[in-house]
Amino acid sequence: MVLKKCFLALESGRVFEGVSFGADGESFGEMVFNTSLSGYQEIITDPSYFGQIICMTNPHIGNYGVNPEDMESSLPYAAGFAVKEASAVVSNWRAKQSLQDFLIEHKIVAIEGIDTRALTKHLRDRGAMKAVISTVESNPKKLVEKAKKSKSIIGVDMVSEVTCARKYIYNPKARYKTRCRIALLDCGSKDNIANELSKRGAEVHVFPASSTSDEILEINPDGIMLSNGPGDPEAVSYVVDTVKKLIHHVSKNDNTLPIFGICLGHQMLGLALGGHTYKLKFGHRGANHPVKDVTTGKIEITSQNHGFCVKPESLKDKNIEFTHYNLYDGTLEGFKHRTLPIFSVQYHPEASPGPHESHYLFDRFFELIENRIKKSN
Amino acid sequence: MPKRTDIKKILIIGSGPIVIGQACEFDYSGTQAIKALRKEGYKIVLVNSNPATIMTDPEFADATYIEPLAPDVIEKIIEKERPEALLPTLGGQTALNLAVALSESGVLKKYNVELIGAKLPAIQKAEDRRLFRRTMQDIGLDLPQSGYAYSLEEALKIAEKIGFPLIIRPSFTLGGIGSGTVYTREELLDAVSIGLDASPIGEILVEESVLGWKEFELEVMRDCADNCVVICSIENFDPMGVHTGDSITVAPAQTLTDKEYQKMRDWAFKVIRAIGVDTGGSNIQFAVNPKDGRIVVIEMNPRVSRSSALASKATGFPIAKIASLLAVGYRLDEVPNDITKKTPASFEPTIDYCVVKIPRFAFEKFTGADQTLNTAMKSVGEVMSLGRTFKEAVQKAVRGLEVGRNGLSFDGKGSDKRVEAAIKEGGKLKEEVLNEVRMKLNTPNCERIFNIMHAFQLGLSQEDVISLSKIDPWFIQQIYEIFQWALRIPQLSKMPPAQKKDFLYRTKQFGFSDQQIAYLTKQSHEKVRALRNRLKVKPSYKLVDTCAAEFEAYTPYYYSTYEQEDEVVTDKKKKVMILGAGPNRIGQGIEFDYCCVHAVMSLKDEGYETIMVNCNPETVSTDYDISDRLYFEPLTAEDVLNIIEKEKPMGVVVQFGGQTPLNLTPALDKAGVKILGTSPKSIDTAEDRKLFSKILDKIKIPQAASGTAFSFAQARDIAHKLTYPVMVRPSYVLGGRGMKVVYDDNMLSEYINQAAQVSPDKPILIDKFLDNAIEVDVDALSDGKDVYIAGIMEHIEEAGIHSGDSACVIPPNTLSPEIIATIKQYTTKLAVMLQVKGLMNIQFAVKDGKVYILEANPRASRTIPYVSKATGLALAKLAAKVMVGKKLKNIMKASSLKDSPPKLKYVAVKEVVLPWTRFSNVDVVLGPEMKSTGEVMGIDSDFGRAFAKAEIAAGSVLPRSGAVLVSLGPVNKAEALPVVKELLNLGFEVMATTHTAEFFAQHQLPVTVVNKISEGRPNVVDIIKNKKVSLIINTPSGKVSRADGYHIRRSAVIYNIPILTTLAAARATVEGIKSQKNREISVHSLQEYYKK
């Protein structure tokens, strides 16, 4: 087998030469790293990675292949993939395809054989940055130029690229008894969010990000879920407006209707409540960040994937209680409204990949839904 | 939550002597715990019978007891010290069992001592298989099917229900002793009786075999607020069926999807919560069916373990340290991560490299031992390596093992020779070798990983290897990739220069050593190194940082790889490199790590920056906060020279790591590296028999007559000239490897044919054997001018038994002042003659009032920790100072010591522990080949008491009454008379086999006659089985290994009855028994002894 060269160039001028293990071509994106040891399939199929080239810090990737159950969406959204070593064989009873075949099938450019630790350290020191991954251009200078000229993700609406085309009712992986109806505003939602809701008895109505608050409220939901998604929250002002209207509806007309936000959903809630967001230097991406729930004192190890963050000071006088903090860097990881049934977390309670101990947040959401149903009866 | 203030004083129990299944990892964990807890202001009382531990250094704990680890002894310590708490989770199974005993007997309640870390119910739930099973079922976790049996009938019934293969596990045993896998009814019958005997409560578990399933371990921690984290996941390369201590293991887990991993993680937390480990670390083992992903829980250890030590080294997360802080009430988020400083310990380490552990075995020491690996642990040590890929790491691990291999095959060594011959010759030989390889793939053994490579070399496919070995396809593929790359290496020489660099770089990324490349390209490894240096193909060093580079790390803990970026920040400080001792093995164990750690501490005191190089994850020396810089690397010339080129230390210390660094000395010397202390030339002089003899002649020190033979004929001539018996051995050996006393030509020819091929480049050494001489060990310190004699140790066993296997005593028990003066004089002369700068160990034999020198080693010896603990003088620390140029005179002036050797007002006895129970079919005989795995010290006011303590600590409780079985070889009978008389006086019944009994009867000693095996039943073995005797004295007669003797000795081991195989030991034992009569054991801390 002839190995095909592949290059990864950063706008900082740093270039990594490796071997292609994905599709031929050239792809641009924001270069980020993820420190999860397992779960590469969930990561590349997470729509939040749209527009990003992911470097996995675990050197051996692809060992257990790809299977139909572990998809977080119907296809891989990452702009590119960088690893130390992609496995030549697949070893797992559920595997249906190799990672390489999967990437080629979905036209994802991927590089292996590079010093991923050097790349990670570079990103840690210099911050996430624009990059290009290419099997067609081998001139380092040209590649760096290309990376520099590529579009930044700041201020770009990426949600519109990954949201569903029209609203639909989620078809769960197993049969669950339904006892309530939840509207899921899909900004690039991971499959497991809908699945965790279904598991707890919800009929999940998935709405495109461009849906209006009226369209959402029309189904008479028992709860509203704001999903994760890619990119800069400030660039999707139309969704933030929708969220504002939903909050308004809750506060004025329907103060038992719970809203739960995850990741981008959390950031949009923050913006809709009058707060601000900012970009982290290199983001949080991994499955080992400790987060403390200050309401219980418990620590959870969390699944993380975000480049932006809500500024706590900006929400000071907005009747908001800060509930979760990241113990690594003290950043805000969760808040709730003091009087309304609105709460959100920056990390991923649906896990997939990552630890399961944050599932309780879905339970909290459902307690609010139960309360609402009880009251209305 | 802040730390607890209701506790002021904490008792920590160590794990005792090094045995198979419990090695220096518990010194590492205990030392960490003591340091951490003292820093928090707690007073620490430590008890451990093992003097060769860092934790028993008097400056660590507030009160250090080197006393037997027995419940009554610990009760005395508790009574005296009155600690408020006992932390039982750091001293392995030993400490846990003692905690259970003290708790159940009411001692802890009586003295109001709280168990912290793990409470009694938690320990019981985890340790009692039935309780464990019930607990798992209660929380809905899947387990292999099983049932308990107390008899053969019950076992058969369960077997019928579940079907073969089955695993038999006795309850409450250490490291899987007595457990095994059975495939047939016959095998079951055997295994059940062994298992029932091995279990102290006569209970076994008959369990569904999950043989061939994938095996995983999770290292979990929990704090008092119920926060749980996984520190490390470990995947076993060897599937289920091989004890995890004997398995090659890999971190992190490689073949689990996130879904499977998270399920395992959820289960692990359920387990630790249900078992009720309130705070601290636990190790939980799982098996996964590769066909359908079914997960079953195998077992859990509610304490730190060998795996947790490995996990700590693999991730940089110090489990034992954190566990002890959690035990006193801290929460995980209140403890900082030492490595990143800015982040808390409440996280899960993530790693960006691959870690491989390979166990080290010692089958060569135990002729006749079954080498098949199963659920009873047999390995004596381990090596860990880190690489960016599994391929790199596994090759590094193999060369770190020091089994004479330079990597995974392709070095023309070991089994590769036969495989290469088979490939070349083809035909029948190839068929034969292929069959051997197939068998070795199918049956787990310590060479299986080489046989995977051999399978490929001989043309088998990956599928063949997978189906034979049941090893996961991912691992097999990794080895296959190494194989494929090796096939390309011969082309290196023909490549154009531009391509050469890339190719060589890639080759190094596959973990190939210069030696392997040299072999495959038919040139010297020096040439390969030169080429690499010319092309700038050099290793880069990466940090172990717990977080995959997400945060800045402040701890210089490095491993080598071949990558773009190097992370070592070098500075201009005065640096000294200390070479460690590599994996533990028989003959080179914890004692050397102890010395290395002392050297580091001492050189730090002297203002040097210390660089530690070692590859043994169990050790204190590889704790990242011992040295200023830690390189976790194999101890080969290539790997060490690479670090030297990077760090440019002012010198290298090779004296403390046993034979390992000494073996590297010629290569380092040749490369122009400065060796600190005794010069390489002097080392060579002492190691080279001929040169050494010349020196001794020159300074007129007598030695046993000897000769060097290069052929059998020559050996025979020398033997005749010296007259039999003679001692034979290969040159350059450690731990008496291959040494034997031979009594005639037949034995000599047998020895040469079987044990040691003699050839012009491999001579054998022949010494006149000094029959029945007293052996004496001396440890001395010298700067080449002055000599300080630190300890003169008189051996209990006579010369001819390896010094490492002999008990010994400080101060000498029977030597006359004249003899001692002679020994001192010889030692001083020799040290000055060899210009020793640092430590030297000399072995003497005293026969008929004359002192002979047996051998001298100008390095730290195995006895340094023992001498240091006995005298209170940290010898290795002083030696390190001498090595960097301090004058001995000034050092001694500064210390309070004047006498050489120091005068003691007490007696310290060292006793050894032997792994007989681990190796069935091996004869229980001591000889010149070392077999012990560890040691204990007994310290008390006189010899008898100290000896008795040492024996108890070594696990053989001296009886106070009952019957003694005496069965002697012909030469010993007369000498035994006083011993037998004394035993009768002490009120023992003496039983003897026919000939021995007749002899005693002739001397009017009333003894009971016992049948030999051939004389009808009940015979001597029946008497042992029925526990009719409480002590056995059985001396094997020199020439003939008698069937009865063998069975007596094996039975003694199986039924755990103290056995003495030398009369010298019997004499000492009688003295010990006498001292115990009518007197209880008293306990004193080292700190108290040193004040005396």
pLDDT digits (tens, 9 = 90+) for A188-222: 999 999 999 999 999 999 999 999 999 999 999 99
- Confidence at residue B1041, expressed as pLDDT on a 0 to 100 scale: 46
Q: Are residues A105 and A182 in the same domain?
A: no
Report the 10 Å Cβ neighbour count for B886: 16
How far does chain A reach from its first CA to its final CA, in angstroms?
68
pLDDT of residue B638 exceeding 50, the answer is yes
Looking up residue A347, the CATH number of its domain turns out to be 3.40.50.880
Cα gap B584→B247, rounded to integer Å: 16
Q: Which two three-digit tokens encode residue A173? A: 């992986």
pLDDT of residue B735 exceeding 60, the answer is no
Q: Are residues A191 and A210 in the same domain?
A: yes
- Report the chain A residue with the minimal C-alpha distance to residue B224: A298
Residues 6+ apart with CB under 8 A from A1: none
- Confidence at residue B923, expressed as pLDDT on a 0 to 100 scale: 84
Mean pLDDT: which of B153-162, B391-400, B745-754, B854-863 is highest? B391-400
Please write the tens of the pLDDT for every residue from B197-210: 888 789 998 989 89
* Cβ separation B333–A328 shorter than 8 A: no
Q: How confident is the model at residue B1044 (pLDDT cuts 50, 70, 90)?
A: confident
Q: How confident is the model at residue B926 (pLDDT cuts 50, 70, 90)?
A: confident
Return the amino acid letter for B264.
M
Mean pLDDT of chain A: 96
**Is residue A316 assigned to a domain?**
yes
Q: Are residues A247 and A320 in the same domain?
A: yes
Q: Are residues A239 and A343 in the same domain?
A: yes
Q: Which of A149, A174, A198 is the last residue of a domain?
A: A149
* Cβ separation A354–B262 shorter than 8 A: yes
Q: Are residues A206 and A135 in the same domain?
A: no
**Is residue A74 assigned to a domain?**
yes
pLDDT of residue B1080 exceeding 70, the answer is yes
**Is residue A154 assigned to a domain?**
no
Task: Calculate how close chain B gets to A328, using CA atoms only, in Å.
Answer: 5
- Confidence at residue B993, expressed as pLDDT on a 0 to 100 scale: 87
**Is residue A250 assigned to a domain?**
yes
pLDDT of residue B1040 exceeding 50, the answer is no
Q: Please count the structural domains in chain A.
A: 2
Share of chain B above pLDDT 70, in %: 97
Instruction: Give the residue-averaged pLDDT of B718-745.
Output: 82
Q: How confident is the model at residue B756 (pLDDT cuts 50, 70, 90)?
A: low
Q: Which two three-digit tokens encode residue A346? A: 């920056």
- Exposed (0-12), middle (13-18) or buried (19+): which is B971, by Cβ within 10 Å? middle
Q: Are residues A170 and A79 in the same domain?
A: no
Q: Are residues A102 and A40 in the same domain?
A: yes
Q: Which of A106, A130, A149 is the last residue of a domain?
A: A149
- Confidence at residue A2, expressed as pLDDT on a 0 to 100 scale: 60
Q: Are residues A171 and A141 in the same domain?
A: no
- Confidence at residue B897, expressed as pLDDT on a 0 to 100 scale: 65
- Confidence at residue B895, expressed as pLDDT on a 0 to 100 scale: 74
Q: How confident is the model at residue A299 (pLDDT cuts 50, 70, 90)?
A: very high
pLDDT of residue A29 exceeding 70, the answer is yes
**Is residue A129 assigned to a domain?**
yes
Q: Are residues A179 and A143 in the same domain?
A: no
pLDDT of residue B216 exceeding 90, the answer is yes
Q: Are residues A333 and A244 in the same domain?
A: yes
Q: Is A359 a catalytic residue?
A: no
Q: Which of A149, A177, A209 is the last residue of a domain?
A: A149
* Cβ separation B388–A35 shorter than 8 A: no
Task: Report chain A residues whose CB lies below 8 A from the CB of B257.
Answer: 38-39, 41, 64, 67, 70, 92, 94
pLDDT of residue B162 exceeding 60, the answer is yes
* Cβ separation B477–A84 shorter than 8 A: no
* Cβ separation A120–B252 shorter than 8 A: no
**Is residue A242 assigned to a domain?**
yes
pLDDT of residue B177 exceeding 80, the answer is no
Q: How confident is the model at residue B1027 (pLDDT cuts 50, 70, 90)?
A: confident
Task: Report chain A residues whose CB lies below 8 A from the CB of B314.
Answer: none
Q: How confident is the model at residue B374 (pLDDT cuts 50, 70, 90)?
A: confident
- Confidence at residue B733, expressed as pLDDT on a 0 to 100 scale: 60
Candidates A92, A116, A328; nearest CB to B352: A116
Please write the tens of the pLDDT for every residue from B414-464: 999 999 999 999 999 999 999 999 999 999 999 999 999 999 999 999 999
Domain that holds residue A232: 159-376
Please write the tens of the pLDDT for every residue from B511-533: 999 999 999 999 999 999 999 99
A vs B, Cβ pairs < 8 A, gives: 159
* Mutation choice for B interface testing from A19, A288, A294, A359 by most B CBs within 10 A: A288
- DSSP letters for B1014-1036: GG-SSBHHHHHHTT--SEEEEPP
| SS3 sequence of chain A | CCCCEEEEEECCCCEEEEEECCCCCEEEEEEEEECCCCCHHHHHCCHHHECEEEEECCCEECCCCECHHHCCCCCCCECEEECCEECCCCCCCCCCECHHHHHHHCCCEEEECCCHHHHHHHHHHHCCEEEEEECCCCCHHHHHHHHHHCCCCCCCCCHHHHCCCCCEECCCCCCCCCCEEEEEEECCCCHHHHHHHHHCCEEEEEEECCCCHHHHHHCCCCEEEECCCCCCHHHCHHHHHHHHHHHHHHHHCCCCCCEEEECHHHHHHHHHCCCCEEEEEEEEEEEEEEEEECCCCEEEEEEEEEEEEECHHHHCCCCEEEEEEECCCCCEEEEEECCCCEEEECCCCCCCCCCCHHHHHHHHHHHHHHHHHHHHC
Candidates A35, A84, A94; nearest CB to B293: A94
How far does chain B reach from its first CA to its final CA, in angstroms?
43
Q: Which two three-digit tokens encode residue B476? A: 């097999």
Q: Is B349 on the interface with A (CB under 8 A)?
A: yes
Helix B448-457 × helix B415-425 angle, to 10°: 20
* Cβ separation A89–B233 shorter than 8 A: no
**Is residue A145 assigned to a domain?**
yes
Please write the tens of the pLDDT for every residue from B86-115: 999 999 999 999 999 999 999 999 999 999
Instruction: Give the residue-averaged pLDDT of A316-331.
Output: 96
**Is residue A260 assigned to a domain?**
yes
Q: Is A187 a catalytic residue?
A: no
Q: Are residues A121 and A186 in the same domain?
A: no
Q: How confident is the model at residue B401 (pLDDT cuts 50, 70, 90)?
A: very high
- Confidence at residue B979, expressed as pLDDT on a 0 to 100 scale: 93
Task: Calculate how close chain A gets to B1089, using CA atoms only, in Å.
Answer: 48
- Confidence at residue B197, expressed as pLDDT on a 0 to 100 scale: 84
Q: Are residues A80 and A176 in the same domain?
A: no
- Confidence at residue B562, expressed as pLDDT on a 0 to 100 scale: 98
Q: Is A350 a catalytic residue?
A: yes
- Confidence at residue B1, expressed as pLDDT on a 0 to 100 scale: 66
Residue A254 vs residues A243, A250, A338, A376: alpha-carbon distances, Å: 14, 5, 16, 11
Return the amino acid letter for B287.
A
Query: The complex's ipTM?
Result: 0.98
Q: Is B463 on the interface with A (CB under 8 A)?
A: no
pLDDT of residue B647 exceeding 80, the answer is yes
Return the closest-CA partner of residue B936 out of B180, B51, B41: B51
Looking up residue A110, the CATH number of its domain turns out to be 3.50.30.20
